[in-house]
Amino acid sequence: MSDPRTPLPLPEVRMQPVQSLPSTPHRTALLDAAGWRAAGIAAFAKLHPRAMLGSPVMAVVLAGTLLAAVLTASGHAPFGFGIAVTAILFVTVLFANFAEAVAEARGRGQAASLRSARRDLMARRIVGANEERVAASALKPGDQVIVSAGEWIPSDGEIESGFATINESAVTGESAPVLREAGTDRSGVIGGTKVLTDEIVVRITSEPGHSFLDRMIALVEGASRQKTPNEIALTILLAAMTLTFLVVVVTLPALASFVDASIEPLLLIALLVCLIPTTIGGLLPAIGIAGMNRALSANVLAKSGKAVEVAGDIDTLLLDKTGTITHGDRQATQFHPVSGVTREQLRDAALLASLADVTPEGKSIVALARSLGAGAVEAEHANFVGFSANTRMSGVDLPGGRVLRKGAVDAIERNVAALGGSVPAELRARVDQVARGGATPLVVADGHNVLGVVALSDVVKHGIRERFARLRAMGIRTVMITGDNPLTAAAIAAEAGVDDFMAEARPEDKLARIRAEQQGGRLVAMVGDGTNDAPALAQADIGLAMNSGTQAAKEAGNMVDLDSDPAKLLEVVEIGKQQLITRGALTTFSLANDVSKYFAILPALFAAAIPQMAALDVMRLSSPRNAVLAALIFNALIIPALIPLALRGVRFTPRSAVSLLRRNMLIYGLGGVLLPFVAIKLIDLLLAAGFGV
């Protein structure tokens, strides 16, 4: 080594605590007392015609309510019976509005907790060599502010210099502080969070009123919620069914005249309400809103309801190895010199080549070398080369033409060859030895001479293999993406239980793989946190960006994980599946329970004129009018009874589509037929006991 005179300080290695796999969120009460009151008031406000037109099914029920009221008031219907039918139909509409209002109230409750993090803050903006105090609302993108320990970050931004521990509990609910550092993929900060230690310079990236918290509040309140494609298709189907049954009911009196039967207009209205799918029509908006709320309860911000639903249809899941499948805490554990090189020579060269590597791996090499006896390093006029995802190397150019490089095996091999050197045959054996042990090998070279291998060890997350098995049971194929060599990648992939892997992958390789999967007709999801992940996040059908990542990554993805746990994507898929299953289950139940209501209404319509129709009265209801009232009461009560299920979702277990369909038909199909028979009969008995009209 040369005899340089300027000391080079060894950077301190700062490690972030390892995050565990996400746990199932605790279930809490739907709403507090204030929330219930607000939902009740909103149910009446939604009676406005413009609001009702958003749900064609319930708009028809409201029209039927008004018509029943007119018939009763004009004397064209028995007064007592008419009042009862009108009241029940009105309550049915209110319950449907109430279901949507409850879902929105839950969102507003979550928004209120987020608003508590948004406060009137002052910022220390840098102006030239000085600083000035301005309101946070006056900050614009590009402004730089200083934030010290104990101060609040005034707006969203990227750390330009420094590092700090930050309390993000107001946004994520996680009490443990997190480390944010300039020049890394964990440089993004959120306005309204508090700096606990050190001092940072933040470059503002958001316009006033368009911060991350502002967008979250708008989303959870439902103001920006767009209907998903499946929801739109189901709305169209329900509208078509409603129109069809409306035509049937309107033409029914003409058909009845052929058998000398007359049907009271009030009974026709009751028949129409029981024919159309009012249950799913009333619950559909609540199901859509609840999907985004369930994602947020798992600390995942979905930018649209579509993102939540698409997650349930994912075919291929691309996951980075580091931080997702493994703990992401790769540490240098051993130096393996080649023949003719001492361990001390390899140690010192690896230390110098890693001084400009700000990644945790580079810092761990410096720490290991120091722990093994490396002293203070001095160099004069040294040119440090930082680690790059494109070159996959770092190093230093020392005076006298000495070039030290440390990096991935293939990158160092190409660099050595470019300098006119050759790779010793022994190196491949060393690399394979490290890789087969599940560690990542990095090669160190001094000019065109290879010095040896550094082993980086990581640990596969506990329980990750079982999670991949759950995804496989749902028909989802998992692909691990890593920059490691094929042997290391294969060892980790086998231990984790993924279906496929990509080794020595560059950022552009991720994008190419996503496009290839999509061209094959598959929906793809992936996670990322760096600026170089942004193109792939934008291309993927589901792009889950880490909250701790760069602003570019968060803008490119359609979901943001507030916990910054890449393994959360596995939970997002299950939330999407639950959203689809919940809508399917309640649609099945709604259509099935209409069958039972037919047997209550039809005999009441035709029993007098056609005695043979009495055979349809399988429930043996007490009277035609009580039959109508019992069916309408059940039709109204079933909507609020299903609100908790719509909001919390049907319990999801990984299984095939055929198995899920069979379960749906057995529980919600058969149950949807049998429950109304029992409930309507019980209501009829109560009516016959003295409450009938």
> Is 406 labelled as part of a ligand binding site?
yes
Q: Strand 477-481 relative to strand 500-502: parallel, antiparallel, unpaired?
A: parallel
Q: Confirm if 35 and 103 have CB atoms less than 8 A apart.
A: no
Is 361 labeled as ligand-binding? yes
Alpha helix stretches (DSSP H) within 441-567: 464-473, 486-496, 507-519, 534-539, 551-556
User: Has 348 been labeled as part of a binding site?
Assistant: no
Domain 313-325+461-562: CATH superfamily is HAD superfamily/HAD-like (3.40.50.1000)
What are the pLDDT digits (tens) for 322-374? Answer: 767 877 667 888 899 998 889 999 998 898 888 888 777 888 898 899 888 88
Segments of the chain assigned to CATH 3.40.50.1000? 313-325+461-562
For residue 15, CA distances in Å to 8, 65, 180, 359 come to 21, 65, 11, 10
Residue given tokens 């997702």 in the structure block: 324
CB 580 within 8 A of CB 573: no
CA-wise closest residue to 138 among 114, 154, 118, 116: 154
pLDDT for 213 beyond 60: yes
pLDDT digits (tens, 9 = 90+) for 410-462: 889 988 998 888 888 889 888 888 888 778 889 999 988 999 999 988 778 87
Residue 626 assigned as binding residue: no
Q: Does the active-site annotation cover 313? A: no
**pLDDT score, position 378:** 64
Q: Known binder of ligand: residue 391?
A: yes
565 among the known binding-site residues?
no
**Annotated binding-site residue? 484:** no
pLDDT by residue (tens digit) across 220-233? Answer: 555 445 566 677 78
User: Is 333-459 a CATH 3.40.1110.10 domain?
Assistant: yes
389 annotated as ligand-binding: yes
Determine which one of 143, 156, 320, 684 is catalytic: 320
Contact of 73 with 48, CB cutoff 8 Å: no
Q: How many CA atoms lie within 13 A of 412 on its CB side?
A: 32
Rounded CA-CA distance 140/134 in Å is 11
Q: Is 393 annotated as a binding residue?
A: yes
DSSP assignment of 518-553 equals HHTT--EEEEE-SGGGHHHHHHSSEEEEETTS-HHH
Q: What percent of the chain has pLDDT over 70?
A: 85
Domain 122-210 has CATH 2.70.150.10: yes
- Quick one: pLDDT at residue 693? 45
Residue 291 pLDDT > 90: no
Listed in order, the ranges of the chain carrying CATH 3.40.1110.10 are: 333-459
Q: Which two tokens stand for residue 78?
A: 């028995």
Q: Of 579, 651, 1, nearest to 291 (Cα)?
A: 579
What is the reported pLDDT for 30? 56
Answer whether residue 687 shows pLDDT above 80: yes
Say which range, 436-440, 607-611, 632-636, has the weakest mean pLDDT.
607-611
